[in-house]
């Protein structure tokens, strides 16, 4: 199935999600194996639940200084090259003849910066379903003006997500401001003409624990003003029991990235530690033991001169460990975002 990028088609997918009380997963990526994990998770969830045309949002930031994902996508650190590599990867994965061809993939440009990402927006509009134009660093009225002018410049070629207020950062400091008010959310939505809005409702970017507080009451208050047009950022700080109520509160899309880095990185670390005797020579292990990094158990039955096991040295082994951990978590989110109801309201 081709990328879903026509604004009317994208709006239809979102409306179907709203009608079925589904939160769309906005799964972020910074490399090709996470990109495949996103598509694979949607495919497998559909297979496991008998669903067709399961929608998923494949998301990446450009040169957003907190997390520049398109910059990271290739070793060359070129955001434009990263953008086209991501486009090509997703197009190939959902192309005719691919096992994943039934997945409805929508690309999202996350936290697009008005200055450093400006050269990418026009080209992205030809492929992307949505662009988040993030002017939240500017004073509120200036944010409204900049976002409105960007939408006018896009001339309906792509749907735009706007950030009402800046989201707090759990790591490295950042904004420490009051949460978005319903009045500000409504004013921003009406005066900019955005398709989706990002308010600050208590969650935090880059959280590695579930310590932040999701303010569901505030979300419901904003929903009464603007409808179910809210995108939740900072979801890695959520507690799992919040997930099933997000859609009914009024959230239609949820951004997720940090937790994938966390669980994927931890899975690879555990794999390496458990299999050190297959990866390193006995001499290497003895040096690590001498320096206090490992214990006797890691030497196992490795004998002097025994070569490392190629099966464990291959990048493929670490990639598959990472991807499986991430896919499992993605499907966990899809379950709790009510994806099992996909398609139940179509043609009704």
Task: Enumerate the domain spans of the chain.
Answer: 7-259+324-341, 267-312
Q: What is the mean pLDDT of residues 316-343?
A: 96
Whether residue 19 has pLDDT greater than 90: yes
Condensed to tens digits (0 to 9), the pLDDT of residues 253-293 reads 999 998 899 999 999 999 999 999 899 988 899 999 999 99
Question: Tell me, what's the pLDDT at 208?
Answer: 45
Is it the case that residue 169 has pLDDT exceeding 70?
A: no
By CB atoms closer than 10 A (0-12, 13-18, 19+), residue 59 is buried
User: How large is the average pLDDT for residues 19-43?
Assistant: 96
Segment 38-56 mean pLDDT: 97
Could you tell me which CATH number the domain at 7-259+324-341 has? 3.20.20.70
What 3-state DSSP class applies to 133? strand
The reported pLDDT for the residue numbered 347 is 44
Q: What is the pLDDT of residue 230?
A: 96
Mean pLDDT (whole number) for 43-71: 95
3-state DSSP call for residue 14?
helix
Say what percent of the chain tops pLDDT 70: 93
Which pLDDT score is estimated for 236? 74
Confidence of residue 346 (pLDDT cuts 50, 70, 90): low
Mean pLDDT of 209-219: 75
What's the average model confidence in pLDDT over 287-302? Answer: 86
Mean pLDDT score, 95-114: 96
Q: Average model confidence (pLDDT) for the chain?
A: 91
Contacts of 185 (CB under 8 A, 6+ apart): 164, 197, 199, 222, 225, 226
- Residue 302, pLDDT > 80, answer no
φ, ψ of residue 129 to 5 degrees: the values are: -80, -40
pLDDT of residue 307 exceeding 90, the answer is no
Alpha carbon 217 to its chain's center:
24
pLDDT at 119: 93
Measured distance CA(89)–CA(40) in Å, rounded:
13
Report the interhelical angle of 315-336 vs 32-49 (nearest 10°): 50
Mean pLDDT over residues 163-182, rounded?
Answer: 69
Of 159 and 209, which is predicted with more confidence? 159
Picking from 59, 161, 48, the residue whose alpha carbon sits closest to that of residue 106 is 59
User: Can you give the pLDDT at residue 324?
Assistant: 97
pLDDT number for residue 166? 78
The whole model's pTM is what?
Answer: 0.91
What whole-number distance in Å separates Cα of residue 335 and Cα of residue 250?
17
Mean pLDDT, to the nearest integer, of 18-45?
96
């Amino acid at each position: 199935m081709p990328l879903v990028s026509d604004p009317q088609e994208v709006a239809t997918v979102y409306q179907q999600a709203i009608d079925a009380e589904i939160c769309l997963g906005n799964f972020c990526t910074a490399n090709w194996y996470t990109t495949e994990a996103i598509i694979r998770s949607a495919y497998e969830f559909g297979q496991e639940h008998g669903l067709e045309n399961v929608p998923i949002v494949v998301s990446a930031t450009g040169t957003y200084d907190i997390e520049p994902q398109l910059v990271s996508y290739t070793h060359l650190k070129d955001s434009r090259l990263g953008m086209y590599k991501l486009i090509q990867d997703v197009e190939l994965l959902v192309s005719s003849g691919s096992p994943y061809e039934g997945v409805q993939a929508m690309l999202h440009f996350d936290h697009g910066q008005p200055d450093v990402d400006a050269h990418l927006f026009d080209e992205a509009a030809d492929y992307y379903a949505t662009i988040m134009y993030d002017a939240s660093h500017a004073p509120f009225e200036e944010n409204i003006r900049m976002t409105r002018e960007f939408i006018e410049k896009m001339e309906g070629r792509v749907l735009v997500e706007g950030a009402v207020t800046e989201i707090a950062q759990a790591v490295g400091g950042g904004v420490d401001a009051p949460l978005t008010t319903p009045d500000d959310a409504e004013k921003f939505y009406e005066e900019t003409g955005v398709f989706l809005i990002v308010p600050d409702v208590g969650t935090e970017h880059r959280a590695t624990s579930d310590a932040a507080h999701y303010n569901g009451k505030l979300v419901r208050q904003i929903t009464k003003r603007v409808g179910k047009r809210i995108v939740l950022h900072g979801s890695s700080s959520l507690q799992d029991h919040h997930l099933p109520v997000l859609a009914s509160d009024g959230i239609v899309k949820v951004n997720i990235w940090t937790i994938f880095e966390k669980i994927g990185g931890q899975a690879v670390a555990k794999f390496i530690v458990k299999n050190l005797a297959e990866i390193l020579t006995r001499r290497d292990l003895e040096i690590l033991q001498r320096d206090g990094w490992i214990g006797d158990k890691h030497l196992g039955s490795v004998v002097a001169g025994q070569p490392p096991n190629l099966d464990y040295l291959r990048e493929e082994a670490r990639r598959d460990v990472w991807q499986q951990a991430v896919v499992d978590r993605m499907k966990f989110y899809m379950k709790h975002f009510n994806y099992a109801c996909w398609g139940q309201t179509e043609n009704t």
